[in-house]
Amino acid sequence: MGTDSDLTQADRPDRRDLWTLPALKGVRSVRVRYRTPRRHFVGGKPVEVDEGVELQIQTDGAIPIRALSPALFVGGTEVAENVTVDETSHRFFVADEQALSDGAEIRLGWVGQPPLNDGAAADAGGFHYKTPTEVIDEPGR
């Protein structure tokens, strides 16, 4: 009698790639007037704003769900606060727009973990920050 070594039907643990991010397909910077003041946390203290800059992004796939948040790195500035619109659409809220420079490269990474500047990231070389000229009212949820 032979020994069965087939694993094709085995219950394998769920394997997830936590680190691979989808590529950025589009980035739109807009100034948004909020229907209710939006709250940012600066050093653990809430700061409420009536309007602010948002970076609204499109990706070519879903961002993995994990403890760390995705973040946009605009040059050397991290923009972490965000909300998921749908699987490939996300709004990132800029807490300090003065820290963003026109022309700064925009890359998608993980909060606290800026992508290495090696050009290998899926979103490398595509999008640059431009101070928004457009002002919109926050859409209804």
Residues within the interface to other proteins (CB under 8 A) = 13-19, 36, 39-45, 65-71, 80-84, 90, 111-113, 115-116, 118, 120-121, 141
SS3 2: coil
Residue nearer to other proteins on the CB measure, 40 or 130: 40
Residue nearer to other proteins on the CB measure, 118 or 134: 118
Give residue for tokens 């739109």.
Answer: 28
Cα–Cα distance measured from residue 62 to residue 104, given in angstroms and rounded to the nearest whole number: 25
Cα–Cα distance measured from residue 77 to residue 126, given in angstroms and rounded to the nearest whole number: 17
Distance of CA 40 to the CA centre of its chain: 16
Residue nearer to other proteins on the CB measure, 33 or 66: 66
Q: How far is the CB of 133 from other proteins (least distance, A)?
A: 26
Q: How far is the CB of 116 from other proteins (least distance, A)?
A: 6
